[in-house]
Amino acid sequence: MTKKILQWAKCYRIHLIGWSLYIISEILLIGFAVGRFGSPVGYLLHYTLNIILFYSNTALLRQNAVKASDYRWLILTLTMVGEILLFLGLKILIDVLIKWPDDWVKTYIDYLTIPNLLQTLWRALLFIGLSCFYFMFLRYEEERRKKELAERQKYENYIHTKELEVTLHETTNAYLKAQINPHLIFNILGFIHDSVLRTDEKTAQAVIDLSELMRFAINSRDGEAEPTLSGEIQQVETLIRLYRLRFKERLFVEFIYPSEAKEIRFIPLVLLTLVENLFKHGDIHDAQDPAKINISLSNAGLRISTNNKIKTGFKAAGFHKGLENIEKRLKLSYGDHAKLEFTAGDDKHFSVMVCSNKN
């Protein structure tokens, strides 16, 4: 309880200091001016009433500011009149209670005189006026914060735009560098295929698979921004086939996906990059612990995950670079509607998961 009170006092210390200075200075000035001081109970009750009027009127103004009614100013005026009348009644009641049971009738009658009523009215108008200035200060602070937030958002958008421009520039340069006559490469692969076709059909088929894989990667750069996953799923199966040929069937990888996944539209080369990294950095030769590639669909959206045993001598730096590139592409394409997570568990397994709810 004490901790909560201290936290509250710290939060509203400016108010507490302000009211303390005001009350002390007013009591001293008026007390020395008239030559007498009131009772502590009287000061406590009267200033409590003043403070309640101040904050109540502030709350009334803030509530009225958000209303869209055509009669809000009329309602505000009538409510303030009600505040003044209630303040007057409570002020009289406090003074009567202080004098109770002695001279309370005289106190009540004295309050009905014009000078006393005007004095109380002035007191009410004083704190209502102060609360109006406080309300205007609060509105000023709110507008200032909104303006600062808008400026900060504008600056962040500007920085984001510049980052996009830099990324686009770097991507364009990388794309141009990659366009060193790909047709020449395909022609050479075609020549190799024709040369080995008669002597080794498996090698010839591997050349065709490699050619299609390269063609897919190159065409993905200037193709659809969000093609269906069918083409990439096919290339993953091709990649698995190539690695099986390379390792003479000593490859243990499970690739599971629903047929509906082929129709899902998603940015290209995310799935293929994850699979390539799995082959590069994972232990894919353990029949008892095969690597897993999984695509699943649910109400939450698309999920692509890989899980593999960590290869001996695994270097995380290069792998993380590939994941960072995927994460940047997801952020640029889908914002907060897609995410990438990866973990290296104590069981010496590496897991990667890409989730997207953009569909």
Give the pLDDT of residue 180: 46
The pLDDT value given to residue 33:
85
**Which residue positions in the chain have pLDDT lower than 50?**
180, 183-184, 188, 191
For 315, the token pair is 């270097």
Instruction: Calculate the CA dihedral of residues 221, 223, 224, 225 and round it to 10 degrees.
Output: 20
The encoded tokens of residue 161 equal 């735009």
Contact 350, 310 (CB under 8 A): yes
DSSP 185-220: HHHHHHHHHHHHTTT-HHHHHHHHHHHHHHHHHHHH
Rounded CA-CA distance 104/107 in Å is: 5
Query: 281-337 pLDDT, tens per residue?
Result: 889 989 899 999 999 999 989 999 999 998 876 665 555 777 888 888 888 888 889
Using an 8 Å Cβ cutoff, are 274 and 255 in contact?
Answer: no
Which domains are delineated in the chain? 2-153 (no CATH), 250-356 (3.30.565.10)
